[in-house]
Amino acid sequence: MELTQYSAYELSTMVGKGDIYPVDIAAAYLKRIAALDKNIHAFVHCDPEAVLKKAEKIKTGRLRGVPIAIKDNFCVKGQPTTCGSKILKDFRPPYNATVIEKLEQEGAIILGKVNMDEFAFGSSCETSAYGPTHNPWDITRAPGGSSGGSAAAVAARFAPWALGSDTGGSIRQPASLCGVVGLKPTYGRVSRYGLIAFASSLDQIGPLTLDVRDAALLSSVISGYDPKDSTSVNIPVPDYLQLLGENVKGLKIGIPKEYFITGIEDGVKNAVMQAIEVFRKLGAQIEEINLPHTEYAVATYYIVAPSEASSNLARFDGVQYGLRVTKGEKVSDSGLIDMYMKTRGEGFGQEALRRIILGTYSLSSGYYDAYYLKALKVRTKIGEDFKKAFARVDCIMTPTSPTGAFKLGERTDDPLAMYLSDIFTISANLAGIPALSIPCGFTPENLPVGLQILGKPFDEQTLFNAAHAYQQSTNWHRRKPAMAQK
């Protein structure tokens, strides 16, 4: 079997036994990317020579030379880091994000940077300045977003696993649409230092992998307290992989009626209900619960997230790094505002401009109390809904996405339809709780469906255990798109 067909855990085990070498793994993935990525466009930067040199030097570490793809909003020292935007053209950070440092300390090889919606603003990976990424299951369809490049790279077997960021579903939704595993950890569990911010109170870093075992291993490596991140929480991190269990007998699972609504595709609903029935047969206890403020989640998110984005993106002005648009070599004081306007006008794409305007409006004088402050109050209510639910159940199960992968271009002219792609994932970010998406079936069009499992704060282990038990009883995660079988 080709090396690119193994899971990351299997590859690390083989390296540990001396059966293969890191350079062999790297070469296999580089060959595959060179041959097939022209059809998917997952990678935006890959330096084969540097990757192979790194692979030759790997000796130890829990990840033992296993390559990993990195979303293009993580700072990797000396590598292009553009967030899929023209405004960060040619930016190469002088430092690594904390998660990159942890990966390299454990022997991982950075395979390259993968595509994303510009500044993580999107649900289809179509707003990137590099052009769209295609879904490996059907290249006429979107892979989801904003971590579309990460999900597509894993599904196409261009990388055994990848890192993404999740602000409102940007790991889980593409994981669902591409048929892979995606975790958004608890807010504060993984350091955000070196992640270029979208919405600082919502962003979280997590893995996209082929199976739950890989997600548990990678999460153990990247999680933990970091004094460089003021939102990082100093709580011990379990060894998720070693504690991985298969017995869910007696597990109390909540099914919120608010997540099974008009607009969800029949194929998605049927696959999710069948997955829940698997848990029932495994001995779990299933009960219906209420999350009454769910209907306000999208409206709340699209006030809070753009407001924080407008603040975070104010730093991109053409002064210190990235794109600068001027008429001449020097900018006078009188021309400074003109330079700001031209740089931002040409540097930001339409979706980025839309969200900056939305956020600035929500924070402006006279509207702050009416919009932003009210949204914060509703966000608190959403968090309280989950607290009440978790007093009764151990975890909650829902669809990850209301639909399978949609056609490229289908929603680009309808921002509201695009925003509703994340209707089932947004609440977890607002509440700061962990959430995991795993493959659970297919639509009649042979498109992957994701089951979302939500848990109590810092209880990722319950999610891993439940998901692992499901994968031990089913084979959905082993299904591959046709191109991944080559």
Instruction: Give the active site residues.
Output: 71, 146, 170
Is residue 133 classed as helix, strand or coil in its secondary structure?
coil
Q: Nearest 5°: phi and psi at 397? A: -120, 135
As a whole number of angstroms, the distance between CA 37 and CA 58 comes to 26
Using the Cα atoms of residue 406, residue 412, residue 413 and residue 417 in order, give the sign of their dihedral. Answer: positive
Name the amino acid, one letter, at 23. Answer: V
Using the Cα atoms of residue 251, residue 460, residue 120 and residue 291 in order, give the sign of their dihedral. Answer: positive
261, with CB counted inside 10 A (0-12, 13-18, 19+), is: middle
Per residue, the 3-state secondary structure of 399-449, as one string, reads ECCCCCCCECCCCCCCHHHHHHHHCCCHHHHHHCCCEEEEEEEECCCCCEE
As a whole number of angstroms, the distance between CA 317 and CA 459 comes to 40
Residues 6+ apart with CB under 8 A from 68: 8, 103, 108, 109, 110, 111, 159, 160, 161, 162, 163, 218
